[in-house]
Amino acid sequence: MHILLIEDELGLCRLLRRALEASRHVVDVAPEGEVGLAAALGGDYDLILLDLGLPDMDGLEVCQRLRAAGSGTPVLMLTARDEVEDRVAGLDAGAEDYLGKPFALAELLARVRAFARRPPLRHSTGELCLADLTLDVAAHQARRGDRVIALSAKEFTLLEYLLRHAGQVLTRQQILAHVWRYDYDGLDRAVDTYIHYLRDKIDVGASPRLLHTVRGIGYVLRAE
């Protein structure tokens, strides 16, 4: 894989680069957030290893700006902050995975291998529709009737996944695996929170209701 490492600790950079290159990955290094963001947006990477505690722009902002620019490159966030709130903040910013420092090199390499086994993200074009809800994937725009709906990057990805499986009841675990692209035990509340955000944006003041809770199972997008 072609990997971008955004990390300001020189010793850790050297260690990770040697280990990743020994595993036959191609590694580029950026020591600052601004430099890393420019490299990520201008390059063709399969994975970004992103330190949270960067000196000029923290990893959360780098990740948020990547997603706002439409980048779908998977992000594995590296940080000494390992509280649940920190993990949630990283995932909400658009990261797919989170590894707390200090970490075992073997674990990081295993997670990189897990990313390598995933099928590539599909960059779809065209429109997805249900009732008067339309999602223009190419233009990254959602509408309910004549009303344009402002969505965050994560809300957009969630709505796209629900629309592609309209009429199918999806569990929280399925949504986590496909929208967050990782199985996060104990973080089902992240799904519930984003479902709430999405319901407020697409259903409040509109008819029919489209986003439904199936008690004890999960959620489904359908016109009723």
Per-residue model confidence as pLDDT tens digits over 190-224: 889 999 999 999 999 899 999 999 988 899 999 87
CB 170 within 8 A of CB 213: no
Mean pLDDT of the chain: 84
Amino acid at 188: D
Q: Strand 97-100 to strand 75-79: parallel, antiparallel, or no bridges (unpaired)? A: parallel
Q: Where in the chain is the domain with CATH 1.10.10.10?
A: 127-221
Per-residue pLDDT, 138: 77
List, by residue range, all CATH 3.40.50.2300 domains of the chain. 2-117
Q: Is the pLDDT of residue 66 over 50?
A: yes
Whether the Cβ atoms of residue 178 and residue 132 lie closer than 8 Å to each other: no
Write down the pTM of the prediction.
0.56
Q: Domain 2-117: what homologous superfamily?
A: Response regulator (3.40.50.2300)
Alpha helices in 93-167 (DSSP H): 105-117, 153-164
| 3-state class (DSSP) for residue 170 | strand
**pLDDT tens sequence across 101-125:** 888 899 999 989 888 876 554 444 5
Average pLDDT over residues 33-42: 88
Domain 127-221 class?
A: mainly alpha
**C-alpha 26: how far from chain center:** 23
Q: What is the pLDDT of residue 203?
A: 94
Residue 83 has pLDDT above 70, yes or no: no
